[in-house]
Structure formats: structure tokens, C-alpha cells
Structure 1
Amino acid sequence: MTEGLDPAAYVTTRRYEPEDASRPAKPPRFLIEPLSAIRPVLTGSWLIKGLLPSHGLAVLYGAPGCGKSFVALDMSLHVAAGKDWAGRRVRQAGVIYVAAEGGTGFRKRVAAAREAHDIPISAPFGLITVAPNLGVEKGDAETLIREVREQCAVLKFQPGLVLLDTLARSIVGADESSSKDMGLFVSNAEAIGADLDALVVPIHHTGKSGTDRGMRGSSALHGATNAEWEILSGEGGKTIRVGKQKDGEDDVSWPFRLRTVEVGQDEDNDPVTTCVVDLLETPRHVSSAVKSKRKKLTGQASEFVKAASMAIDEAGEAVPHSQYVPFNTKGVKRQTLARYADQLGFLEGMAPKVRNSTLNRHIRTLAGDGYLGQWGNWIWLVS
């Protein structure tokens, strides 16, 4: 510091001044809010109260054929109409549904769901049947944002919910298992949400193994989500489970069914059908919901649970911590369970391929019915 210069004067000389004092300074990009100015946001946080946030990134995922696209459509039409869903209040918002898989068949689903649930034809819902490429840095995010803005201005509604069905079709050529590629998708999805002031919901698949739980691909997606809905399907029925909720209640579930309806007739006067969603109960904690929907165990299912119980009692280990595994859970790996199932005669004498598919079927069914939990290669009993 220069000799004789008062420190206070030095600070004053270093203070930022705009180049043109006659014009207000441009607001800083990284604005500091002092403690005295910080207030909680009390309104507008939810699209579906306690289940679906109004902003950020949420994921709805499940195995092929579980009904995830039907659930996504049903939920989004209720948001567009502002109608209560799953017993929860809904804040109306415009919806853009990108049906990148099966656009032709999706139109009849929309028509059927609209009629089944009395969704008014004027509800702000728009369908796009062309898949954007969101898996590269210079992909279609900017074009999608611009064209949605332009067309919604003509349609006279503001989108508040954007669904991408499916994630895989929106990142063609990218590697789901690559943290870099998945990170690019997340960045593009977040840009869409920020520019449109909307929640973005990709529809995604579970792991490729028949018994894998959790979303397929890189964990970068899980780290970026505000909410995650998992669609489960077993012999006991179909279930929606909220496995992650940043600012709300997680680990809640509720059952649903797919009901076949006729939407018209084809050129041969044969009926054209599709399915609609019927929600059977309102959401509640998984522990109580699982117990109430369990089918009574009989025959092989009962014996298989006994084999799992014996395996865990005698050879169980602490299951590594995961967002999908309850705290302090004891379980066994699939190969250990297979060995105990062999001892009880379940898999004995089967060819390796048949043996593996039989084991997968039992695990998948009992997990869907609420008796077994499974994550990756680990299996445990649900209390």
C-alpha cells in the first residue's frame, strides 16, 4: 500500500462504479442475497401437491411394459386440466408431451385418456412426435425451446411441464452409461426447464437385467433430479412409487391398473382399443402400502421366500448403502440365493438359461408383490 494512504480511502478508490453513471449498472450474474433479505418461497412449489415439483428435473421410470407412458400421460393431462390427481391438489400448467416413441399409437392414448377422465378439449396440452437430440452439446435444445415458445404463443398457453418420452430416444447415439453424455442430457434438459420456466420429466427405463431396480445408465441423472417416480409391476398389480423427493415426502406409493377401452373402429369395422389409467388408492408410505397389497403366499412363491429367509439368516451381509436400499439392510447376492433355492429343489437340474430366467421371474414377481427388495445383485426381505 502507498505510504501515507488511509486504508478507508484506498477501499473507496477501489469501489466499482458503472462506466456510465447515468445508466443503472447491469445486475450481477452471481447476485448475493444478504441474510436479512432471504425469505422462504411459500407458494408455487408444486404441480401436484407433495408429489411433483413445479421446476427442475423429475424422472418417471420403469421396466418395459410396466405402464410408465400411460401414467405419464394420465398425470400430465390432469396437470393441463388443473384437476386433482391421486387425491392431491393440482396447479394447472400448460403441458408439452414429446412422444418420441410411437407417435401414431400415442394419439389414440390421448383421445382415450381425455374421454375417460373428462379432460376438457380446451386444456393446454400439446403433443410433439419428433424426437429432439439432447445428448450432444450442440443438439436440439435451443431449437426446441424456440419452436415451443413460438407455437405456444399462437396456441395461447404457457408450458409449465415438458415430458420427454423416452430419454433413450432423446439421446440417440449417446451412451447412457457415460457420465459425460448423461451430463450433457441433464444440462440440455435443465436449459429447457429454465428457459420455459417449466418442470422437465424424461421417461426412462430400469436397468437392463430382469431384476435390476433403479434407472438405467449413469448415476449423473439421479444426482440431478428433484423427484423420481418408479413404476412397478408384479402379480399383485401395478404401483407408482416416489423414491426420491428433494423438498417433500418420499417413499410413498399407490396402486393403479390399466383398463382397456375402445376408441373407435378401423376400416374393417373392427374395434380399436388402448388402455387408460385407473388410480386405485391415494398415496401412502411404502411400509403400510406394501403390506396392504400383498397377495397371500402359496405354493412355490411361499417356498421361495423361505429360501430367501434361510439364505439371509445363514449367509446374509450388510447391503451397500444406496438411495434404493433401506438403511441397515441385511441381504444376499443373487448367486447365494440361487444356491439356497437349489437346496430346496427349485432350480435343481435346470439348464443354465432356464435356471437364470426362473430365478429372475421369482425375484421380479415377489419384489413387485412387496415381499422382496432388490437392487442390482442384492436381494433382501421386505419387513
Structure 2
Amino acid sequence: IARMGKPASLASPLNGFAIATRYTPETGKADEPKPSGPLEWFEDIEASLTDAYMVKGVLASDTMSVIYGPSNSGKTFFALDLAFHISTGREWRGLRVNAAGVLYLAAEGGRGVLNRVVALKKETGITAAPIAVRRAGMDLLHNEADLQSVYNLAQEVKDRAPDMPLLIVIDTLSRIMAGGDENSAADMTALIRNIDAIRTATGAHVMLVHHTGKDTARGARGHSSLRAATDTEIEVQNEDGERAAQVQKQRDYQGGETFAFTLKSVSLGHDQDGDEVTSCVVEATDSEEFKAMKAAKKGVGGNQKIIMDTFDQMLGEGLGKPNPGGVGFPETGQFWTVKMDELRDYCMGKFDSANKRDAWRTAWRGVTEQKGLFCTASGLCWRIDKRVKR
């Protein structure tokens, strides 16, 4: 606690903004006070009807969002796809988009993010957009020079995209803490203050890409102050290759939306040995179908799970084929199918039951009529979540 009488010194401003520091008696440092705004009296307050959005109903300008999920969930692909649409002003999932300059800070480094950008260029045919990538680790918790660098990089993007809003994507949160403790209230709140300082100085929306912990049901990893400070929180999930981003929190918008997607492979060329080099782009899928499939999978166990796992095993052994067209089938080549009698025989060999045929009939009724996880036609069957990747 600061003693009365002698004011604490303030953090030094850097090109118009201050590095956020928490007060400590040893150094005498304290946060720079925020300027107070004018009073707005009840009778003078009117509705604010202009929505300063980036993606209408999903992302607002000058706020903070967190996109999180476990490893290999597709969260970086999702964040990059969202950033790309914002940089071009292209409609995203049927929603209006206000074009903005984008600074993508790939703090984990590596060339993978560049190949993902090239995949977007090849898939869309768009070769120019106000989006820039910086691949390098940084310390936004302790290092004033790195904070200053982010500010300077943001100015470069704003120079390329004048009179446009700004989006800063930081991928990932853990790589900008430089040894800080995600579970520490002191470290997490200090990082949030520094992110706020960047937002204040640049007017940007800052999007953090983050991980879940071991228990994915508990949400984004780290201290709860992160969620409290977040305006928009989006969880990315992977259900056997069928993925979805679900809006878990909105401060000002409605929230609760689900944006299902899959990852489509894109060929980029060949390496020095003649082997094909690929990356992926996000391809939208049916969100209602994803939610129905996820709900249906709840409570699947016992012999029903054996059927699910055996279907996967058969695909892995090369026994699956894309569905044909015709009566009872979806559009040609949409789902992996196997022969119904082969699936039944494989499963019955695994059932621990005296009457295996009765066990099969009961379990099969459960995954078809009751849960809707499988469909059948002309002696073939397919799982609704096992699409052919194109």
C-alpha cells in the first residue's frame, strides 16, 4: 500500500501510451491513471444505434476477444480465416464485415502460418489484402521494447490501410508471457493491462489465440481474470474431424452461435524432393448438423460405442468408399460408407453378450433410430460425421 503524502511515480509513456505496471513499494511504480470522462446525465442519454463492428454480431471494434481450444482443434486456422475475411471486407458466414487492417503476430514462429496464408490466396484467388504477418516470439508481460514494437508494427499496418479499423491477432497467449504464470492473478492482470494499453494506443481489436487446459470443460487455460476481461470468447472444438467454433461469451452481443467447419487440404506445390506440400483452409459446414451430432453422441457407450469405433477401424483399413448417388443416398461422394453386413459381423465378434444378434439389433437401433448417428441405403451404411475430405 502506498504511503500518503508522496505520490508514486508513473509508468513512462511510449509514443502516446503507457506500459501498464502494477504498483510495488520497492520500485514506487504505479499504473498511470486513466483520464476521467464527463458526466452523462440520465435525461440526456439516448440510444446508441451505430454498431462499430468488425463482424456484425460477433466481433466489435476496439475490444478484446479470445479464441481458444485444445491442440489440433483448428483454432489457428479459424482465427486466420476470420482475420482474412476482415482484411478483405468479405462477408463471413452470412454476416456483414467491416474491412480492417490486420496485424497477425505469430508468436510461435515457424513457416506454417505463411503456408496457411498462401493456401488462402490460392483457394480464394485474392492476392492482395491489408494483412501482415510477423513471425517471432515476444514478451508482452515484462518487456517495454516488445510492447513498443507491437505499437510500431501496428502503425505500419495503419499506414498501409489508412482510415480503416485495426485488428491485432496474437497467436498464442502463452508465447507472449515469457515465463509468466498463466494461473497467477498478478501476471494475468498485468498482461491484460498491457493488452489494454495497446488497444488504447492503436484503437485496435486485440484477438488472443489460447489453449485449453487438460480439462477442456473448464474452458480457456489460466486465471479467471482473463475471462472477466474478455469481450468475446470463442471455443473451437474438434469432434472426429468435424469442427466448430462456439461463442461462449459476449459482453454486448447476443452470443451462443455455432460456426461449424472442416479443414480443406490445398496443394501449394512440391518440395526439393518432389513431394507435395499442402496446407489447409477453413470450409464452412452445417452448424445445425454439428450440434445435432454432438448431442446425439452424448451417452453413447457399450455396444453402441463398439459400432462407432468399428466403423472408424474399417475406414482405417481401407474398407470404406465414398457414397454413390441415387435413391436413399445423399449427393454422390459426400460420406464414407461401408458394407452393412461387414460392419455387423465385425461388431458381433466384439460384443460380450450371449445373444450377439439381439445385442446388435439393440445397439444398431440406438445409433440409427434413436440417435441418428448412422444412415443406411442399399446395403451400405454411413456415419453422419464422417464426410469425405475434398
TM bin (shorter chain) = 0.5 to 0.7
Hey, what's the Cα distance between the residues in 2 that align with 1:299 and 1:147?
52
Hey, what's the Cα distance between the residues in 2 that align with 1:301 and 1:148?
56
TM-score scaled to structure 2, two decimals? 0.64
Query: How far is 1:80 from its partner?
Result: 0.3
Runs of 4+ in structure 1 off by over 4 angstroms are 154-159, 292-299, 301-304
Structure 1, residues 56-100: CA drift from partner, whole Å, max 9, x if none? Answer: 111000000100000000110000000011111111111110011
Hey, what's the Cα distance between the residues in 2 that align with 1:32 and 1:137?
36
Is the 1:94–1:157 Cα contact (8 Å) retained in structure 2?
Answer: no
Partner of 2:227: 222
Is it true that 1:31 corresponds to 2:33 in the alignment? no
SS at match of 2:119: helix
What amino acid is aligned across from residue 124 of structure 1 in structure 2? P
Partner of 1:280: 285
Hey, what's the Cα distance between the residues in 2 that align with 1:154 and 1:256?
31
What amino acid is aligned across from residue 277 of structure 2 in structure 1? V
Structure 1, residues 214-271: CA drift from partner, whole Å, max 9, x if none? Answer: 0101001000011000001123721110000111121221210011111111112211
Hey, what's the Cα distance between the residues in 2 that align with 1:186 and 1:268?
46
Is the 1:67–1:231 Cα contact (8 Å) retained in structure 2?
Answer: yes
Partner of 1:359: none
Which of the residues 244, 252, 275 maps onto 2:249? Answer: 244
Change (3 A) 1:83 1:65: same
Hey, what's the Cα distance between the residues in 2 that align with 1:239 and 1:220?
25
Between stretches 250-259 and 130-139, larger displacement belongs to 130-139
Change (3 A) 1:300 1:39: same
Structure 1, residues 143-184: CA drift from partner, whole Å, max 9, x if none? Answer: 311342146426757551110000000111100000110111
Q: Counterparts of 1:100-179 in structure 2 under 5 Å?
A: 100-118=107-125, 120-136=126-142, 138=144, 140-150=146-156, 152-153=158-159, 158=164, 160-179=166-185
Structure 1, residues 16-54: CA drift from partner, whole Å, max 9, x if none? Answer: xxxxxxxxxxxx743222334433332243111111122
Is it true that 1:235 corresponds to 2:237 in the alignment? no
Between stretches 75-84 and 252-261, larger displacement belongs to 252-261
Is it true that 1:193 corresponds to 2:199 in the alignment? yes
TM-score scaled to structure 1, two decimals? 0.65
Hey, what's the Cα distance between the residues in 2 that align with 1:31 and 1:137?
34
Between stretches 47-56 and 294-303, larger displacement belongs to 294-303
After superposition, the CA RMSD in angstroms is 2.9
Change (3 A) 1:289 1:185: same
SS at match of 1:41: coil
Change (3 A) 1:32 1:164: same
Is it true that 1:269 corresponds to 2:274 in the alignment? yes
Change (3 A) 1:174 1:270: same
Is it true that 1:91 corresponds to 2:98 in the alignment? yes
Change (3 A) 1:303 1:76: closer
What amino acid is aligned across from residue 183 of structure 2 in structure 1? S
Partner of 1:353: none
SS at match of 1:91: coil
Aligned pairs, how many?
Answer: 276
SS at match of 1:140: helix
Partner of 1:291: 292
What amino acid is aligned across from residue 193 of structure 2 in structure 1? S
Is the 2:116–2:279 Cα contact (8 Å) retained in structure 1?
Answer: yes
SS at match of 2:65: strand
Hey, what's the Cα distance between the residues in 1 that align with 2:154 and 2:303?
50
Which of the residues 44, 56, 67 maps onto 1:60? Answer: 67
Is it true that 1:46 corresponds to 2:48 in the alignment? no
Partner of 2:22: none
SS at match of 1:249: coil
Structure 1 regions of 5+ residues with no counterpart?
Answer: 1-27, 305-344, 347-368, 372-383
